[in-house]
Amino acid sequence: MKRVSLYSAEIIASNQDLLTEILIRIPAKPLLKFKCVSKQWLSLISDPKFCIWHACHQRVLNPTPNALLLNNFYSSTPTFQFIPLIGDDSSSYSQAAVFDYLNVSPNYRLKIKNSCNGLILCMSIFYGCGFDDAGSELKGIICNPTTKQFKTLSFPVPKFGNSKTYSSFYGLAFDPSKSHHYKIICLHVDYRVSKNPQIYLYSSRTNSWIFLQNSLEAPTLYGFVNGVFCNEAIHWCSYEQTTLYFDVNTESLKIMPMPPIFSTVNRFREMMYFGESRGRLHLARIGRRFIFGSDVWEMASDYSGWSFLYHVSLHSMKRAFPEQKFDTFSILNVLRAEKEGELKVVISVDSIAVSLNVFDGTLKMLSVLEPGLEFPVELGYEGHDAFQYFQSLVCV
Amino acid sequence: MASSAEATETSKPSTETTTKGAKIITLKISDEAIFEVEDSVAMEILVMVKSFLKDQSPSTELFLSRMYWPTHSHTFIEFCKEHIMLKACSTCLARLLLIGFRFKSVEYMRKFFGIENDFTPEEEGKCYVKNILGRVEDVDEDYLKFGSFRG
């Protein structure tokens, strides 16, 4: 006689499909731990198809990033400042993510260029050559910080005459709900030679680079920000009236408008926040000049134009710290929410990072920041590059 | 699985209670097919059988497997299983959330699901080192307590 047991957890455990339904709703970090439960669990949680399926669900269940990672260029071991955004597990206010498992040689520094849905792309830069990606070889690392899986890639060097004056822009495209594979875009452009960027595209499906023919002339891109993945395209920002984006599906470069906010005088000294949240692009000017507040702009979903979203002001910071005279200000992340009353901005003011609710002005202290900036202060760039970190199991 | 299942109206439903307090009805389809379903499922089956009987000329034998079950056009047996499974899934998830599964050890999860540990100590050690040690963030206290994973 066969009796169907009704003890719910045992039913789940005996049925692979049901177990999968449960496990995809559990965040990545505890799942790594639960690989040790049994061989069946190890096999299931390690299956790349499960990992993608899990990532799709987690994107919907937990759309806020777990944390922000900030570049810290001066540290010899790849170390990035870590700002947790979820939960109260900030056991210390100054956390560092050490990527020592990446085995980077001591002459090189690792700089995060892009992050996308759980994966991050870092470039390995020979220390001492400044912030230019000069050198005979360009090496990058694509990494999943949750599983510590990584892959080293050789990036294509551009076909320019003088290889020292070009600029490179990168983008990482990964959407688990659309594809199991990720793509990396590499743009090389030498503005003194031509306004046509050279486009190289890597796909993890073929594990190879292709060179794409391009006739589109690019506006001058803003040098400190790398590509932002949003709605199946990689976007960069510029100082001009238009900027560039790369449509990952059609594999073509396109033009989109920039908001009309830059003065012609100080154009090249303006610092910008450019990022994505819940499928919308955001832009804001940051830096010392905006210590009294900054406007955040949001791009329309049909790319027709930018609109003013809200004004970030530091009133609540000043109320909380009345004696303090703030010197620097940067926006690290704009977090759109489903409900209107929950728009949050993660900002850094001097050496602290706080989460600011734009509507009611409430502050939440997040982290104390190390002053390990990437660029000498004389250059006037005082921001931090902040990258969204999502816990994920996806394979690299 | 019996292809022509009779709902023996003479089957004596026995009732038990789950830990959640729902009544369990035992439906005996045949000697080979006995299903324990929660009373809410049994009620739905009853409603469907009644509506089926309204449209058909009643006979003494009712072939439940040939009835069209509204959800996913499954057979009666699959209908029961699905209902039970869905309920089991949501109950399980709710309980996992309640116990705070993130902070629970591997051994706790084994007990929760009634799973046997089929790793050898060496295999389990390797799994532990590979997947649990050396996190990006600070190591959770729970990991430090996870001393003897041989449980």
Show the 3-state SS of B93-134.
HHHHHHHCHHHCCHHHHHHHHCCCCCCCHHHHHHHHHHHCCC
CB contact under 8 Å between B88 and A97, yes or no, is no
Question: Do A74 and A169 belong to one domain?
Answer: yes
Check B135 against A29: CB less than 8 A apart. Answer: yes
* A356 within 8 A of A110, measured Cβ to Cβ: no
Quick one: A41 and A105 in the same domain? Answer: no
Helices (H), A213-369: 315-320
* Cβ distance of B118 and A38 shorter than 8 Å: yes
Residue of A nearest to B38 (CA): A6
As for how many domains chain A has, the answer is 2
Is residue A18 located within the same domain as residue A67? no
Q: CA Rg, chain B, in Å?
A: 23
Instruction: Decide if A205 is inside a domain.
Output: yes
Q: Do both A41 and A95 map to the same domain?
A: no
Nearest chain A residue (CA) to B97: A26
pLDDT tens across the length of chain B (151 residues): 333 334 433 333 444 444 445 677 787 766 776 777 777 777 877 877 777 677 666 665 666 656 656 554 556 666 766 777 777 777 777 877 777 777 788 888 898 888 899 999 888 888 888 887 644 333 444 444 444 333 2
Residue at A329 is within a domain: yes
Q: Least CA distance to B125: which residue of chain A? A: A36
CA dist A100 and A392 (Å) reads 19
Of the residues A37, A68, A85, A146, the best mutation for testing chain B's interface (the one with the most B CB atoms within 10 Å of its CB) is A37
Number of residue pairs across A and B with CB atoms under 8 Å?
A: 115
Q: Do B136 and A145 touch (CB under 8 A)?
A: yes
Looking at the fold, whether A328 and A364 belong to one and the same domain comes out as: yes
B92/A2 touch (CB, cutoff 8 Å), yes or no: no
Indicate whether A13 and A127 sit together in one domain.
no
Cβ contact, residue pair A82, B137, below 8 Å = yes
Whether residue A261 is found in the same domain as residue A184: yes
More confident residue, B124 or A370: B124
Q: Is A177 among the domain residues?
A: yes
Min Cα distance B78 → chain A (Å) is 12
Is the minimum CB–CB distance between A88 and chain B shorter than 8 Å?
no
Name the one residue in this structure whose structure tokens are 């994973």: B149
CB-based contact A18 B132, cutoff 8 Å: no
Question: Mean of the pLDDT values across residues A310-323?
Answer: 84
Cβ contact (<8 Å) for A8 and B88?
A: yes
CB spacing of B128 vs A36 below 8 angstroms: yes
Residue A35 lies in a domain: yes
Chain A residues touching residue B117 (CB < 8 angstroms): 37-38
What is the distance between the alpha carbons of residues A259 and A282, in angstroms, rounded to a whole number?
A: 11
Per the CB < 8 A criterion, the answer to whether B30 and B5 are in contact is yes
- For position A231, what pLDDT does the model report? 92
User: Which CATH number goes with the domain that contains A308?
Assistant: 2.120.10
Q: What is the pLDDT of residues A2-17, one digit of tens each?
A: 444 445 677 778 888 8
List Cβ neighbours of A147 (8 Å cut-off, separation of 6 or more).
Answer: A28, A32, A392, A393, A395
Identify the pLDDT of residue A316.
82
Q: Range with the lowest mean pLDDT among A266-270, A367-371, B115-119, B123-127?
A: A266-270
User: Each residue of A56-89: pLDDT tens digit?
Assistant: 999 988 888 999 998 876 566 778 888 888 865 4
Domain that holds residue A279: 56-389
A394 lies in some domain: no
Mutation site, A2, A4, A8, A150, interface B, largest B CB count within 10 A: A8
